[in-house]
Amino acid sequence: MTKAHVLGFPRIGARRELKFALEQFWRGALDEAALAALGRELRRRHWNLQRTADLDYATVGDFAWYDHVLWALACLGLIPRRFGFAPDRLTLAQYFSLARGDGGVPAMELTKWFDTNYHYLVPEWDDAIRAAPGVEWLFEEVREAQADGHAVKAAIVGPLTLLHLGKYRSGSDRRLDLLPEIVAAYARLLARLKALGVAWVQMDEPALCTDLARAWLDALPSVYDALAPTAPPILLATYFGPVAEHAPLLKSLPVAGLHLDLVRGRGQLDAFLPDYPQSKVLSLGMIDGRNVWRADLAAALDVLERARDRLGARLWVGSSCSLLHVPMDSAQEPSLEGGLADCLAFAVQKLDEIAALKRGLLQGRGAIAQALAASRKAQETLRSLARRGSAQARQRLAAVTDADCSRGSPFGVRIGRQRERLRLPPLPTTTIGSFPQTAEIRRSRAAWRRGALDDARYAATMRGEIALAVKRQLELGLDVLVHGEPERNDMVEYFAEQLEGFAVTENGWVQSYGSRCVKPPIIYGDIRRRKAMTVQWIGYAQELSPKPVKGMLTGPLTMLQWSFVREDAPREAIAFEIALALREEVLDLERAGIAVIQIDEPAFREGLPLRKSGWPHYFEWAVRAFRLAASGVADETQIHTHMCYSEFNDILPAIAALDADVITIEASRSGMELLEAFAAFRYANDIGPGIYDVHSPRVPGVEEMVRLLERAARVVPVERLWVNPDCGLKTRDWSEVEAALANMVSAARSMRSRTG
Ligand code: GLN
Ligand code: ZN
């Protein structure tokens, strides 16, 4: 019979219970038993939600402490060996040490999970990897669910994806040679699951949606040939993109079912339906696990009915991917404007949508008339929200010319004019924008939001903070100052709250990594700037400072990437609208006398499509959007951008095409290695490689920073070098920041005297 299921459910809890409990546990304020009890409670709640919604299986294994990749490693006995922990006796405290570091032993690396804003811990491989028993957690959770009477589908990252996501710590990459050991680890785990009587095991293989080298694809059959005989029925889950090109291979695998993402891989069904094996289940991911909109149920049913005609009861209905990437419950958002709340489906609502699709399929559309009506109404409301002002938006966009997207003169000319205006020393020092967000700052912002602090008193408090930041920077002797961003809760939300077309939720939290959550704004309409957003604060800082103060904006690609977006317009059109709004802000800052303006793009790289074939198109519009925001200013106004990651190699041409006068980047951990790529590429504009690792409380010494600068100067001419930290300083405290920046300024001075 047709089944309904989700690939996974958010684990953090409707009120972020897991976040707070984890943080208490790490502080020593909660004991292990209490943390474990909360875990059980959250799992029970989430499984019950699935059952109440009328799904057929409770998905077990998606809970995962901290991260589901680390969790899989722990269950498989494949944790990194450098920590010296016994894989089968791993305690919860040791487990968290893997994720967060343990005294002198650095934590495992964190990286983005495919093209999402979720971060996983990178598996560490070496030649000595051996399959050994791991922790019992998955089996315990299966028993918990069974004790509550659930039919269980266990879910775990699949062997190919797990191996592929990992890195060889040293020496050449021999990941595929490890396959026999990895398969042995999975075989042991799957046999246990079978003995426990789980109905299905979902093996997540999203790596199949990326550009996978031939050798990896060739390995796939032997992996599943080895696993299938002793495993419960396997549902091989693909998501985040289409896998049509691998259809013959996937259909021939000895698994009991396949899952396809029909949201991201809309057109791929036709590659699978003809000659789909009689013996296999086909699960279709119809409900979007990556966005927050109510589904068009009628359209989804059209697809499902067509599939049913071929598949009959072998057709399943599901979410496109895990619901990990959407917030919990849109019923917790009563204050959203104009019916917008009725257009949203967060995880809880998506369970109902999936169940409705199954019911519609089995009992006919009449049986879900209400759900269909609500879906139709949501589509209409969205269309009318989108229509507001759309004519003007189209006009504004149509009027954009190539000239709008390029500066008046080439960099060589601009930089001369900027130097004349700014009169900075060689190797100018600056910071990336934010200063410590102290408890007082957070308290005043919260009080203002609650209405307990009026606008005038709030503004006075923030001005006080800005004045303090300016005073400290002048005392430190920094050359280009910032206002410190005390008024910003978050670099995206701050702008989203002020721009038309964006909505901001109260409780729409999504796990980013570990206990960290983000609250992405929702883009539902045409984007327009109502009024200046930053000028009052930055202008005030400039009044207090004889030295230039840098205006600070979040760029169009980062605004787009870190929001949920409307789906009736292409991403690039939305990026251009944001860019136009930011362009107005840039011009307002310039008019207010601000000579240096930074447009942050920390999410520039993560906007890249999963398949390389999509990269050229992305680069084209992404570069244009940035340039549209940045290029309205005079030659004398200096545009900075900032990005904080260290893999630039494959995006350097696009970085250069942004034509920012200065780019500040994260570089301290990699010891300036990435600068070689900039040098080899003959990157022509100014660069500020970070020489202070802001992710660590450690205060770097002067000598250490001088060494980094010397290394930088070997590949980038000193005339084009800036001196700055890796990223913003908002998570640090003032004592660390003052000490580190004092050392940074000394390092710059010492370097100047040596090279001058
Ligand atoms: N200007 C921002 C800050 O300093 C940049 C943050 C970021 O790169 N993520 O906080
Ligand atoms: Zn940064």
pLDDT in tens, 122-142: 999 999 898 889 999 999 999
Closest residue (by CA) to atom 1 of ligand 1?
433
In this prediction, residue 420 carries a pLDDT of 98
Residue among 430, 431, 432, 553 to mutate when testing ligand 1 (max atoms within 8 A of CB): 432
Token pair, residue 601, equals 């793009």
Residue among 604, 642, 692 to mutate when testing ligand 1 (max atoms within 8 A of CB): 642
Name residues contacting ligand 1 (CB within 6 A): 432-434, 485, 491, 552, 600, 602, 642, 644, 727-728, 730
Sign, CA torsion 267/366/59/15: positive
* Spacing, Cα 234 to ligand 2 middle (Å): 42
Judged by its nearest atom, the ligand closest to the C-alpha of residue 644 is 2
Q: Which helix (H) or strand (E) holds 111?
A: strand 110-112
Q: Is the pLDDT reported for residue 182 higher than 80?
A: yes
Long-range contacts of 652-655 (CB under 8 A, 24+ apart): 652/677, 652/678, 652/681, 652/683, 653/619, 653/681, 654/604, 654/619, 654/622, 654/623, 655/604, 655/683
Q: Strand pairing partners for 434? A: 484
Sign, CA torsion 731/735/738/739: negative
In this prediction, residue 339 carries a pLDDT of 87
Determine the Cα angle at 489 with ends 483 and 495, to 5°. Answer: 80
Helical H segments across 230-296, by residue range? 247-252, 269-272
In this prediction, residue 162 carries a pLDDT of 98
* Spacing, Cα 664 to ligand 2 middle (Å): 9
Closest residue (by CA) to atom 6 of ligand 1?
728
In this prediction, residue 633 carries a pLDDT of 98
Token pair, residue 607, equals 């906007």
User: Rounded distance, CA 607 to CA 645, Å?
Assistant: 13
Judged by its nearest atom, the ligand closest to the C-alpha of residue 690 is 2
Q: Is the pLDDT reported for residue 504 higher than 90?
A: yes
Q: Is the pLDDT reported for residue 696 higher than 90?
A: no
Q: What is the DSSP letter of 294?
A: P
pLDDT in tens, 13-35: 999 999 999 999 999 999 999 99
* Spacing, Cα 315 to ligand 1 middle (Å): 47
Average pLDDT over the chain, rounded to an integer: 96
Q: Which ligand 1 atom sits nearest the alpha carbon of residue 727?
A: 8
pLDDT in tens, 306-351: 999 999 999 999 999 999 999 999 999 988 977 899 999 999 999 9
pLDDT in tens, 614-630: 999 999 999 999 999 99
* Spacing, Cα 692 to ligand 1 middle (Å): 14
pLDDT in tens, 582-608: 999 999 999 999 999 999 999 999 999
Q: Is the pLDDT reported for residue 756 higher than 80?
A: no
Confidence of residue 167 (pLDDT cuts 50, 70, 90): very high
Closest residue (by CA) to atom 10 of ligand 1?
728
Give percent of the chain above pLDDT 70: 100
Residue among 491, 553, 646, 693 to mutate when testing ligand 1 (max atoms within 8 A of CB): 491
Please give the positions annotated as active site: 695
Token pair, residue 188, equals 């042991």
pTM: 0.96
User: Rounded distance, CA 123 to CA 78, Å?
Assistant: 8
In this prediction, residue 713 carries a pLDDT of 95
In this prediction, residue 265 carries a pLDDT of 96
Judged by its nearest atom, the ligand closest to the C-alpha of residue 433 is 1
User: Rounded distance, CA 57 to CA 97, Å?
Assistant: 33
* Spacing, Cα 319 to ligand 2 middle (Å): 33
Q: Strand pairing partners for 502? A: 523
Closest residue (by CA) to atom 3 of ligand 1?
728
In this prediction, residue 337 carries a pLDDT of 78
Closest residue (by CA) to atom 5 of ligand 1?
728
User: Rounded distance, CA 571 to CA 531, Å?
Assistant: 24
Q: Is the pLDDT reported for residue 507 higher than 90?
A: yes
CA neighbor of 220 nearest in space, from 208, 232, 202: 208
Q: Which ligand 1 atom sits nearest the alpha carbon of residue 643?
A: 8
pLDDT in tens, 638-679: 999 999 887 888 899 999 999 999 999 999 888 888 899 999
pLDDT in tens, 236-294: 999 999 999 999 999 999 999 999 999 999 999 999 999 999 999 999 999 999 999 99
Q: Is the pLDDT reported for residue 390 higher than 80?
A: no
Residue written as tokens 């490693």? 73
Q: Which ligand 1 atom sits nearest the alpha carbon of residue 728?
A: 4
* Spacing, Cα 446 to ligand 1 middle (Å): 21
* Spacing, Cα 506 to ligand 2 middle (Å): 25
Q: Which ligand 1 atom sits nearest the alpha carbon of residue 602?
A: 8
Which amino acid, 233?
P
